[in-house]
Structure 1
Amino acid sequence: MATMNRDQIIKKPFNDFKNYPYGFARSGDFSIRESDLIAKHGSLIAALMSGELEPESAEEQSLLSVARGEKAAESPIEKAWSKYQARINRPKVGSMYGRSRYTDDAFEISGGGDDDDLVVED
């Protein structure tokens, strides 16, 4: 597979179809400005985090350290990326009611007896 150079990665819009299949702007989790920043700079931050690119400026080094959780977010893109990371890494809720109401025993089919369990009363 061909490797992408720095300019191609920076120009590529960032998408997360697994967590945000309809886009960041339509999710309701981010403001319009935050969704634009994530889409514009997300590919760069993801490449920095994966080690595909090395940071070349102080701003990129700051983005990388915020993404790793080494320092607090200060700029708008750092705050938006921190919010994105918090949203995708939040714990999943299984059920707000706890365990399942029915067990497998409740759905067992009685085996071939001649008894008719249907009772009709007038």
Structure 2
Amino acid sequence: MSTTNHSLESFQTSRKFYDDVNYPRGISRSGDYSLKEVSLLENHGVAFLALADGKRTPINDIETQFLKVCQGELSPTTAEEKTWVKYKNKTLTPKQFHTLFGRSKVEVDPEVETEPDDLED
């Protein structure tokens, strides 16, 4: 998962990537990603998104391979590809909500009459 010197010219953007919809407190505070993954997303996420959405054309073989990974033609091999796939999986998969109570509601038997307890004895 190392980046090569050739990849330094890839994924260049002029601004940081923020996802206020899925991570309103910031990607780094979510706990979903390692420090390296956060750095990749913040520094190159704008380029990742533009390539994945087709708003940017690949400038070299690395970006072409990234685009093929986004389209599902290849499996991710580089740190950039793995991080973007992880990001997409996290943002597209609904968060699971766990509760101590079951899903089914308690059924009330209509034949049994219930009266409020008398507070005064």
Establish whether TM, by shorter chain, passes 0.5: yes
User: Aligned partners of 1:87, 1:78: CA distance in 2, in Å?
Assistant: 14
Q: Residue in 1 aligned with 2:67? A: 64
Cα root mean square deviation, aligned:
2.5
Partner SS state of residue 13, structure 2: helix
Partner SS state of residue 70, structure 1: coil
**Larger radius of gyration between Structure 1 and Structure 2:** 1
Q: Residue in 2 aligned with 1:81? A: 84
Aligned in 2, Cα 1:36/1:50: closer, same or farther, shift over 3 Å?
A: same
Aligned pair 1:90/2:93, yes or no? yes
Q: Which of 99, 102, 117 is equivalent to 2:103?
A: 99
* One-letter amino acid matched to 2:103: R
Partner SS state of residue 76, structure 2: coil
Aligned pair 1:51/2:50, yes or no? no
TM-score normalised over the length of structure 1: 0.69
Percent sequence identity over matched residues?
36
Equivalent residue pairs, number: 102
Residue 31 of structure 1, CA deviation:
0.6
- Ranges in structure 2 where 5+ consecutive residues have no aligned partner: 1-11, 108-115
Partner SS state of residue 15, structure 1: coil
- Ranges in structure 1 where 5+ consecutive residues have no aligned partner: 1-8, 104-116
User: Aligned partners of 1:59, 1:120: CA distance in 2, in Å?
Assistant: 75
Q: Residue in 1 aligned with 2:19? A: 16
Q: Which of 18, 30, 33 is equivalent to 1:27?
A: 30
Where do 4+ consecutive residues of structure 1 move more than 4 Å?
94-98
User: Aligned partners of 1:50, 1:75: CA distance in 2, in Å?
Assistant: 19
- The higher-RCO structure (CA 8 Å, 6+ apart) is 2
